[in-house]
Structure formats: structure tokens, C-alpha cells
Chain A
Amino acid sequence: MKEIKIQINDFNLWYGGRHILKDINLQVKANRITAVIGPSGCGKTSLLRSVNRLNELIRGARHSGEILIGADEIHEPGTDVYLLRKKVAMVFQKPNLFPDTIFENLAFPLKISGVKDKELISEKITAAAVKSEIWNEVKDRMNEPALNLSVGQQQRLCIARALVSEPEIILMDEPTGSLDPVSTAKIENLIYDMKKDMTVMMVTHNMNQAGRLSDYTVFIAQGSVIEQNSTSRIFTTPQNKKTEGFISGKINLFGEEK
């Protein structure tokens, strides 16, 4: 049994008066890929953004319960939230590079950490870019605007940028949601290789992708965890009728029965 990297206990989240996440209890195992699936608007993204405390930026957001990473509760007073976000990196559905050069994008996480040593910066961004399999495409164009790259390349550059600060956990919010099949395949390979070094938690709307890639799957509907288990169990012998309905396509992405 693998050790538990993220432990979520009785976690609730509200945006203003809306109760988004309800009594979430969840375990994410270290060096494994955990897929989060469920109908649109069920709270998958909110769950992901709770793990790096990105929800705090939303006005009127409040929570109860705890989220432990390793042994540390992330809401504990005195927690360095900026360090947390460097340790728990995030990749979004749409590539969100800064309108700046490729180099500046990759160097951003290091520069905000106060790293000034040019050799160290170049060493670290090279390592991250190699790992994200974007290095060969960008090594000669470091000073070009990052937005000149194709969307697929931009997304891999986003992954590289997330890897620069050597995170322990990477949160992926539909990382291939806006990509073509070839770019999707490249990124799936990347994610598969990533679990050697880190824990991956991934939201996806693509059941095949969840089945292909993940070791564990969590099914969420209407803000509650319906079922969590190893992916093979969830996809072959789901315990809950709703899970079965969702995976087999009888319940559509909006949670309505067909």
C-alpha cells in the first residue's frame, strides 16, 4: 500500500451562500495518478483549487474541515501559502502563459522565489522543459514571445513552468480539455511519466482518459464524493448506481439521466 499524500477530512466549501463541497473525505496516494470525475458544476475544480488554497482568492469563499499534505494541515495559521503553491503546482484547462518570452515564463517561479543565479535558473528551466518534452521545440527560441507557440506547445510549456519549482504534487484541471488528439496524447504520456516524481491529481471529462491514465478514481456529484476506489474497480464493478450510470454514459455530463 502506497503512503497517503493528500488526506481530506470532512471538508466543506461555500462561495457566499452556495454550498459547493459537502463533507469531502478523500485520500490521494503518493506517486499515483488520481482522476476526479463527475458532472459539470459538481465541484471538481473547486476541490482541486482547495488543495493549493487558490479558492481563497474568491470573494466570499469559506471552508470547514481539514486538508493534510503529508502530515501538515494546509490551513494551519503560519502556513506559507506561497510556498504551498510552489509545492502544489497547478495546470489549467487553457494554457495561461504570460504575454512575455518563453524564457521569462519558465523563469517566473524562480524569479519570484528570489533566485538570481543565472546558471541555476538556466539549469532548472532546462530540466523542467526536458521533463515536459518541450525542450527541443523551444531551446532555440527562448527569447520569442511564448504566445507564438501552438496551443499544444503552450500547454506543455505551462506544465514545464509548473515543474520548475519542483513540486511534490501537481493538480491538473482538464489539462487536455482544449487540445487536439495529438497534443492530448503527448500530454497524457507526460502525466504518466510524472508519477515517478510526484503525486498527480487530475480533473477530466474524458472517461477514456481517466481509465487509461489513472490509478485511482474519485467520482463526485453535486459536491459530494459518491465513490472512490482504484480505477479498475470503479470502471468494472462500481458500487454505486450513480457511478455506473455516469461511467456508462447513462447520466450525462450535466448529471441528467438520458
Chain B
Amino acid sequence: MKMLSRFSGLFAGRWGQAYAGFSVFILIAVLAVLLFNVVYNGTQVISGSFSKGEFFTAGDKAGMLYAIIGTLALTLFTVVLMVPSGVLFAVYLAEYAPDNYFTAFLKLLIANLAGVPSIVLGMFGLGFFVFFLGDFTDNLLGLKNVFGKPSILWAAVTLAFLNLPTVILTSYESLKNIPESVRLSAYSLGATREQMFFRTLLPQARPGIITGIILAVARTMGETAPILFLGVVFFMPEIPVTEISFGLFPVPLINPLEQFMALPYTIFILATQSTVPGENVNIEYMPTLILLLLTIAANLLAIKFRYRYEKAIGKLR
């Protein structure tokens, strides 16, 4: 108690208030300068490249389209791999797993996975997925260098593992936070376990689960280190497209077994690999702004979903 009052005294007086106000001001000011800088310069460079018709040209210093497509494709493949397995794993942990040492050990593993540095996981992706799993698949199918090389597929698998803990832990928490009385209530009305889960728990956990997924997606889009080893390139002459035919309808799909361009890597290369330092600063604003916008869009989407589902379950009035 004494400690607490000593600390609260620190923020109580006029000086304390001034200090707190100053901290908030600094935070908002830094954010504002950052946003203004990126948005102002970024829009100028982008409109310039649009007017010169360079925005969509791949390979050109100003060509951004392939990097955007690459980032979106990578994110999409990651989500497809990460979301179902992550949510199902959380459901297993929260609802089905017996309360024993093995379950506790599993939770410990996930918490640890969340702490692995992304570059280490990238190394692991190269060693295990590309050189072991990829080569193994090639040998099994009698192919050469189809699976056994860095590509969107292995980058997505690695990024899925990187962000799996986020999805699992947020989903697990949102399921565990539902009071026991809700479960009991459903059971007492004659619900089976599945009915209880799908009709009462899932709707209540949904805002939390979706928030976790979108947080993970936003992080996936900006991740740079792990994809370094996994097939990202600075320049591609064309996007690798394969056509998958569903009967009469051939659907063009980005070939996940090829290399790709990605926004964060483009920023990295522009910033570090220039022969004339400073020359690329202008162009750099472009991928930075686009990446920022994509991340903000993902976060807005998260807020929107959470608002809608919380309203649906009556948490908001």
C-alpha cells in the first residue's frame, strides 16, 4: 500500500499531470509526423509514377504492382494454412483437451513458439520445409526442383507457424473467458456438446477470434526477416500464373511453387542495396505507404467485425 501511494503520488501533483500530458503529446506527435511524412511523400511519388505510367511496370524502380500482388498472395496462402488449424487447435485446447501435464506442456510449447525470433523461424523454414520436406516430396513424386526450392508455399507455411501462436492464444482466451454458467445453461436445456459449442460459445468468442486472426494477418503482411530465405526477390519479369481448371472454367492462380515479390522486402532492398545512397529515398515512400495502408485496412476490418459481432451478442447497447 505504501509503495502504491508513493508511486501514485508521483503522478498526482501538477508536475505529475504535466508529465503525463507531455508523454501523451510526444506519442501522438511522433505518430502524426510519421503518418504525415509517409502519406504526404508517398502520395506524391505514387501520383508521379501513375502519371508516368510506371506504377504497374514491373522491374522498373517504380513498379509496385507485383510487390502488392506478391504480398497479398503470400498473405492469402498464409491465412488459408494458419486460420483453420489455429482456431481448431484453440478449440481443442479450450474445450476438449484433458486437464493434464500433456495439455500444460502443449500450452508451454505454443507460448514458446510465440517467442521464437522470426529470423530463426525463417532459417528453420529453409532447412526443414525447403531442404527436407520439399526435397522429400520431389523425390517421392520423381520431380526435380519443384517443391525443393524457396517459394510462396514454404514462405506461407513458415509465416503460418510464426503467427499461429497469436491465433491460437487469442482464440483460446476468448473461449476460456466465457463464463462456465453459459455452458451449464446450454447443457441444462438439453444441448449436446456440439450444439452448446456452435450455438453459444462460438458466437460469443467470435469477436475475439476474428481480432486475433486479423492481428496475425497484419503482422504477416509486414514480416520481412523470415521470407529472406524463402523465395522473396526484388525483381520479377512477370507474375507466375498457372491456370487451374474447374471443369469448363480455368481459374488463373498465382503459382505457389514460384518465387515472389513482397512489399517489405522491396522497402528493405531499396533502403540498403542502392549504389548511390539516398537516391532511392523518394521511391521508398511508395511501398511504405502501401504497406501502411494495407495494415491499417486490416485493423479497420478487425474493428468493424468486432463491433458487428459484439453488437449481435448484445455487449454493446
Contact = CB atoms under 8 A, between A and B. Distances in A.
B194 to A, nearest CB: 10
A15 to B, nearest CB: 14
Nearest to A59: B99
Contact of B199 (A92, A112, A145): A112
Nearest to A82: B190
B280 interface: no
A149 to B, nearest CB: 11
Given A59-B99, A82-B192, A99 B185 contact: no
A101 B203 CA distance: 12
Contacts of B170: none
Contacts of A115: none
Interface residues of B, number: 23
A92 B189 CA distance: 12
Given A99-B315, A112-B195, A57 B185 contact: no
Contact residues on A (Cβ < 8 Å of other chain), bracket:
20 to 34
Contact of A96 (B181, B195, B204, B317): B181
A98 B190 contact: no
A185 interface: no
A147 B184 contact: no
A85 B195 CA distance: 14
B188 A85 contact: yes
B191 interface: yes
Given A99-B314, A100-B314, A165-B190, A92 B184 contact: yes
B190 A112 contact: yes
A90 B199 CA distance: 19
Contacts of A146: 314
Interface string B209-236: 0000000000000000000000000000
Interface in A47-89: 52, 54, 57, 59, 82-86, 89
A65 B199 CA distance: 34
Nearest to A109: B189
A27 to B, nearest CB: 23
Interface in A182-220: none
Contacts of A96: 181-182, 184-185
B203 A100 contact: yes
B191 A89 contact: no
Contacts of B85: none
A54 B191 contact: no
B288 interface: no
Given A82-B190, A82-B192, A89-B188, A99 B199 contact: no
A86 B190 contact: yes
Contacts of A121: none
A66 to B, nearest CB: 21
Nearest to A144: B314
18 contacts: A54-B188, A57-B187, A82-B192, A92-B188, A94-B181, A96-B184, A98-B182, A98-B185, A98-B204, A99-B314, A99-B315, A100-B313, A100-B314, A109-B189, A109-B190, A112-B195, A144-B314, A162-B189
Interface of B: 99, 181-192, 195, 199-200, 203-204, 312-315, 317
Given A90-B188, A112-B195, 6 more contacts: A52-B188, A82-B190, A96-B184, A98-B186, A109-B190, A112-B191
